[in-house]
Amino acid sequence: MFDLSKFNTFGLQVHAKDGIIIESEADLRKVHTDRSITLGHGSDVLFTDDYNGTVLINQIKSLSIELKDGKYIVRAGAGLVLDELISYLVNKGIYGLENLSLVPGTVGAAPIQNVGAYGVEVGDLISEVVVYDLQRHITESFPKLKCDFGYRTSYFKQHKERKLFITKVVFELSSEFSPKLQYKGLAEEEFKTALDLRNRIIELRNKKLPDPKLVGNAGSFFKNPVVSFETAHRIRAQYPDLPMYPAIEGDCKLAAGWLIEKSGCKGITHGCVGTWESQALVIVNRGGAKPHEIVALAKYIMTEVYNRFEVKLEPEVRTFDANGEVSWDNL
Ligand code: EPU
């Protein structure tokens, strides 16, 4: 049995049949199993049960940086810690990823969900993702367009059946600091250096989000729902302060955290789990949580939000049961 408690930031006491640390492509060539899942730090996953297969822990930590036509091409091993990479790059004068400071997890996990924060999505800065195909035992390159990045989604999330192990992420970054300040909490501020911006982002995150080292959580548990313009206006007629953002044509994105708060679910506790006091979108382990408690709380929140607003929330975390990744509708 392989202990997964250090490989899921919820801190759940779960196990896998076995686990293999992957440090290079050579290690991947030796993997011959049709039942495996890949983890970095497990910062965006929920295990609802012990996993009856092999967990591959991505610890490929290579790094190369090349200056080409005024752009920095950064080839980062997928097992590097994303925030450590960002800190290193900011100190070297290589810019673009600052807004993603302190996003938990590894470089290789970032493109799967196309992680985003404070006005930047990681897919905006990726030029290529290199994968190892565990079924065909070959390396394949995914140039940006093939990655199909969308809001918290990508080709890799949509094609789990392909058993692709991300080995390297190639970023195209800048030698000039040009801050991205669209996020409303940043727009009115001035940042002289990328380090100032990084420090401000760290401060904002620390204020709102629980540190997974101290309080088990997987970041935003739900995605911000995309609804029709009519639905958004129906809700706004009753709640003029409804935050809404333009999404794809004719649609609006709503803030799930706001909907959860207005449904009376912010800061609640059910058994050993709850929602975070300063960001309702985050489900937390208040100590000794069991997987079924998290599933039950998430379902409770989904029902409360639906009953109040007729809006369906969809989990953002990837969920695994004994047999592998499982769709939320089957839980
Ligand atoms: N809000 C509330 N109550 C809450 C939480 C939020 O009223 O409990 C309101 C806020 O006042 C604001 C709006 O909802 O008007 C949006 O809140 P916030 O700016 O905190 O961002 P978010 O949409 O809730 C998203 C990402 C976060 C990311 C932040 C900042 C998703 C699912 N989540 O949250 O990502 O850090 O923006 O950019 O898109 C993550 O994915 O794990 C994550 C933490």
Distance, CA 255 to ligand 1 centroid (Å)? 6
316 is an active site residue: yes
Name every protein residue with a CB atom under 6 angstroms from any ligand 1 atom.
117-118, 183, 208-209, 219-220, 223-224, 243, 255, 257-258, 261, 266, 279-281, 316
Main-chain phi, psi angles of 216, to 5 degrees: -60, 130
8 Å CB contact between 253 and 229: no
Main-chain phi, psi angles of 287, to 5 degrees: 120, 120
Q: In which order are the strands placed within the sheet that holds 279-285? A: 216-220, 279-285, 273-276, 269-270
pLDDT in tens, the chain (331 residues): 999 999 999 999 999 999 999 999 999 999 998 899 999 999 999 999 999 999 999 999 999 999 999 999 999 999 999 999 999 999 999 999 999 999 999 999 999 999 999 999 999 999 999 999 999 999 999 999 999 999 999 999 999 889 999 999 999 999 999 999 989 889 888 899 999 999 999 999 999 999 999 999 999 999 999 999 999 999 999 999 999 998 877 799 999 999 999 999 999 999 999 999 999 999 999 999 999 999 999 999 999 999 999 999 999 999 999 999 999 988 8
8 Å CB contact between 202 and 111: no
Distances (CA, A) of 138 to 29, 60, 130, 134, 221: 9, 17, 11, 7, 34
Which protein residue's CA is at the shortest distance from atom 7 of ligand 1? 258
Measured distance CA(69)–CA(50) in Å, rounded: 49
Q: Judging by beta carbons within 10 Å of its beta carbon (0-12, 13-18, 19+), is residue 150 exposed, middle or buried?
A: middle
Distance, CA 225 to ligand 1 centroid (Å)? 12
Residue 247 pLDDT: 84
Element (H, E) at 280: strand 279-285
Atom number of ligand 1 nearest to Cα 184: 19
152 is an active site residue: yes
Distance, CA 21 to ligand 1 centroid (Å)? 34
CA atoms within 13 A on the CB side of 83: 13
8 Å CB contact between 325 and 318: yes
228 is an active site residue: no
